[in-house]
Amino acid sequence: MADDYEEEFEDFDEFEDFEDGDLAPLDEHESALVRQDLVDLEAFEATFSTDGYRGVAVYCQDCAEEHYYPWDLLRGNLTLLLETGETPVHEPAFAPEPDKYIPWEYARGYVDALQDVGVDQRRAVDECPRCQFAVPDALVHANFCPRCSMPLMGPRLAEALLERGMDEADVSAILREMGLPG
């Protein structure tokens, strides 16, 4: 019986070089894909976290289930994968509230569409005019203040109009007329 086992797995000789716990490093192509995933994750978090999303949902082929990853956990897993070639064992989240996680593929399509129409080039907002929160660099293009949820379109519009030579009183009047905070 032991001979049958050895014959069945003799094609796996190339794995003999790896001791238990040793990992095959990522090749350059795999590393590039993981680095792109980290860039994508940053864009997804900047786009969706201010709307209350906690992270992304990723369908796992291995266990045929959706996995829910908070932003920091997935960032850590991807960084570990890049550094060591391995990610921690994954388990389904306990009571994850699926509506708080954006599907990875949806997020990728949404962010790509925003970039296609130039939304990623909108003005940065460094500080919320309402609560004076210093907006972190990763969120300067967010639609709402991460602390008080104030819409940031008004401050962006006000800055653009002031740069074009409009009077401050006129800018404030336009914003009020549009129902935007100014």
Give me the number of domains the chain comprises: 2
Q: Rounded to the nearest 5°, which phi and psi values hold at 153?
A: -70, -40
Which two three-digit tokens encode residue 169?
Answer: 């009183």
| 49 and 98 belong to one structural domain | yes
Give the pLDDT score at 88.
76
- The CA-CA-CA angle for residues 99, 120, 66, to 5°, reads 25
Residue 14 predicted with pLDDT over 50: no
What pTM, to 2 d.p., does this model score?
0.57
| 34 and 111 belong to one structural domain | yes
Give residue 92's domain range.
28-119
Note whether 80 and 172 are within 8 A (CB): no
User: Would residue 65 count as lying in a domain?
Assistant: yes
DSSP code string of 57-106 = EEEETTTTEEEEEEHHHHHHHHHHHHHHS------PPSS--GGGEEEHHH
Nearest to 36, CA basis, from 112, 91, 99: 112
Which two three-digit tokens encode residue 174?
Answer: 């336009």
What mean pLDDT is predicted for residues 127-142?
Answer: 86
Residue 55 predicted with pLDDT over 70: yes
Q: Which of residues 122 and 55 earns the better pLDDT score?
A: 55
**How many C-beta atoms lie closer than 10 Å to residue 20's C-beta?**
4
Residue 13 banded pLDDT, cuts 50, 70, 90: very low
Residue 118 banded pLDDT, cuts 50, 70, 90: low
Residue 12 banded pLDDT, cuts 50, 70, 90: very low
| 113 and 77 belong to one structural domain | yes
Residue 159 predicted with pLDDT over 70: yes
| 45 and 96 belong to one structural domain | yes
Residue 32 predicted with pLDDT over 80: yes
Which two three-digit tokens encode residue 82?
Answer: 């890049």
Give the pLDDT score at 16.
45
